[in-house]
Structure 1
Amino acid sequence: MGCDGGTIPKRDELVRTKKKPEQKDKQSELSFKWGHCAITQEPLKAPIVACQLGRLYNKMAILESLLDQSGLPDGFKHIKNLREVKELNLTNNPAFKDSDTKGDSYNDNVSPYICPVIGLEMNGKYRFVYFWSCGCVISERALKAVKTKICHKCQKPFSNNDIIILNGTDEDLQLMSDLMKERQKELKAKKKQDKINKKLADSSKLNAEGESSNSELSLSNKSNSVSKCSNSTKHCIKRPNNGVNMQIEDPQFKKTKLDYSVAKDPKATEVFKSIFTSHKSADKQIKAHWVTYNPFYN
């Protein structure tokens, strides 16, 4: 087969085996994820936003993708509007110097952002989380060290469902996907309950307005009936007497009845009685009482 000159071939030179796939540099991959937009692969620039799965984006890239008719690429279809992302409240790293790398200069991979609690750099070496309720970013180590339900940076309360892992593993992505579905269900239930509460509030308000208008109408009717009773039936006063209504007539009301006569009224004077036809002097009159004096006919 050849092999003269004392050469000893190795096994891999004689037996052809399947080559192992080239392994990626995990550290470089993580560093790229933490420094570049997940959609456009461009360097991250403020304002920086994150979705509910923990991926980082430039806000302008999200806006352009939403306005584009083609929409977002595959893998980002869960972002339907700006309400599906949260603008991050990041803490600047004072040791970071924003200068372009030149020629043979050394890149020390200093991250522009750090944890506000313990100062860890956000460069992919450490796990970071952010709160969906406020958007503040801290390291997972700080979250475990200081066990509280209040944000360490802005002092706003949060729940376990609000904690989202940034650039997590495949298992973390599955967990974040489940939490995203739970948040969407809670949001739908909250909107439904708000609609019900609004309808109840509107109906109670209408009922209150109707009751007030009815009470005003009843009060006006009562006042009208009282005024009518005082004006037209002033003569009639009904008062309860041991459960029995007794009617008391006004003496002045008797004068309006048909059987009343001025001539029979003992309180009327003779002069007042003489002007009526029922007086005895009316029988001696030559002319009828309806004939008046007219100089043209007399």
Structure 2
Amino acid sequence: MGCDGGTIPKRHELVKGPKKVEKVDKNAELIARWSYCALSQEKLRRPIVACELGRLYNKDAVIEYLLDKSAERPNTEVVVHIRGIKDVKELNLTDNPAWEGERSNSKGDRYEDLHCAMFICPVVGLEMNGKHKFCFLHTCGCVFSERALREVKTEICHKCGDPFQEDDIVILNGTKEEVEKLQERMMEKRAKAKASKKSKKNKPAETISKSEEVKECAASSKAGSSEPKAPTENGSDSGGSSDPGPSTSTSTSKVKKPAGAPGSKRSIQDMEEKSEAYKSLFTSHSTAKRTKDQTSNWVTHTPYHF
């Protein structure tokens, strides 16, 4: 059976078969992961930062996201775990001397090497294009290839000399399994940080409670220590009076404190250690008292007599 124009259709044009699975170009995928920001999808440019899961971002894109999280942006699920600027680390990258930039291929009359990267490993010299595993140190931010850290085993950074541990090594753009391990490590670190903050907050409260307990113990010990009871005028205790009738009300006489006891009022004129000239300065001295002839029998509002 022919169509208009006398053409004869073939079988694959009439019978619909299963759809072919679209394959992702590996080169395009590597370029997208290693040359473009995971958040803004723009080309990576300094300063470049990386999160605890090993993803690469432009620092200005992360700052814009943190300043306004309500704005509608693509790929926001990639940065959900970033709570602040402290959750990312600025990378200390080594430039590739063979990298000529974007202007070299503007004419299109020469071969374009897609695997030529902007940065390289400072130890081995491998290009950071995705074909080799790269990692960075969370302490200093220096970037190295995994081969360099595996062949040259050391606990000091090859570039800046800062010490590091195995937990400080973060793989850049790792596989799903590696990302899951990094996520577990990130959650453990955050849980430990929360626990340490709670312990620091509880320490001052514990010290305050302990000091209050010590003060209460001291006060109770002072209250518990019994002081000697002062005898009454009759020579017996206030509670031991046996006189009946109204004499019981007057049996508890006031105890007179000695003159030298603290808190007792003592006249300056009674102090033997003070001189007579010092005692004469006060109105309680005999020279300051007036006789009947010096006092007047009338009082005015503002008396000027002496």
Which residue pairs with 2:168 in the alignment?
A: 162
- 2:25 partner letter: D
Q: 2:179 aligns with which of 156, 163, 173?
A: 173
* Partner Cα distance (2:191, 2:69) in 1: 28
> What is the CA deviation profile of residues 61-81 of structure 1, one whole-angstrom value per residue up to 9, with x for unaligned ones?
011111124157223111111
Mapping of residues 18-29 of structure 1, within 5 Å: 18-29=18-29
DSSP-derived class of the 1:74 partner: helix
User: 1:111-154: CA deviations, max 9, x gaps?
Assistant: 11111110100011111011112111100111111222222222
Cα deviation, residue 22, structure 1:
1.1
* Counterpart amino acid of residue 52 in structure 2: Q
CA distance, structure 2, for counterparts of residue 112 and residue 185 of structure 1: 37
Q: Which amino acid aligns with 1:181?
A: M
Identical-pair percentage? 50
Give the direction of change, closer, same or farther, for the CA distance of 1:196–1:115 in structure 2 (3 Å limit).
farther
Rg larger for: 1
- Which residue identity is paired with 1:175? K
1:78–1:107 distance in 2 versus 1, CA, 3 Å: same
| Cα shift readout 1:15-55 (whole Å, capped 9, x = no counterpart) | 64312211011122112211111111111111000011111
Counterpart of 1:66 in structure 2 is 66
Structure 2: which 5+ residue stretches go unaligned?
Answer: 3-8, 213-259, 261-271, 273-306
1:161/1:183 contact within 8 Å kept:
no
Q: Are 2:155 and 1:152 equivalent residues in the alignment?
A: no
* Letter of the 2:197 counterpart: K
Query: Which amino acid in 1 is paired with 2:79?
Result: F
Q: Higher mean Cα deviation, 153-162 or 23-32?
A: 153-162
Amino acid at match of 1:64: E
Task: For 1:169 and 1:198, locate their aligned partners in 2 and report how far apart those are by CA, in whole Å.
Answer: 45
Contact 1:27 1:124 in 2 (8 A): no
Structure 1 contact 34–124 (Cα < 8 Å) conserved:
yes
Query: TM-score scaled to structure 1, two decimals?
Result: 0.60
- Supply the distance in 1 between the matched residues of 2:89 and 2:184 (Cα, whole angstroms): 18
CA deviation profile, 1:190-219 (whole Å, cap 9, x unmatched): 33444466778x87xx99xxxxxxxxxxxx
Please give the alpha-carbon distance, in whole angstroms, between the structure 1 residues aligned to 2:185 and 2:145.
19
Correspondences of 1:91-130 after superposition (within 5 Å):
91-100=94-103, 101-104=105-108, 105-109=110-114, 110-130=116-136
Q: Secondary structure at the match of 1:186?
A: helix
Q: Which amino acid aligns with 1:103?
A: K
Distance 2:177 2:69 in 1: 32
Whether the 8 Å contact between 1:50 and 1:86 is mirrored in structure 2 is yes
How many Å separate the matches in 2 of 1:108 and 1:197? 60
Output aligned runs, 1:1-298, within 5 Å: 16-70=16-70, 73-100=76-103, 101-104=105-108, 105-109=110-114, 110-195=116-201
User: In 1, Cα distance between the equivalents of 2:22 and 2:203?
Assistant: 60
- Distance across 2 between alignment mates of 1:132 and 1:199: 34
TM-score, normalised to structure 2, is 0.58
Alpha-carbon distance between aligned partners in 2 of 1:12 and 1:35, rounded to the nearest angstrom: 41
Identify if the C-alpha distance between structure 1 residues 174 and 64 changes in structure 2 by more than 3 Å, giving closer, same or farther.
same
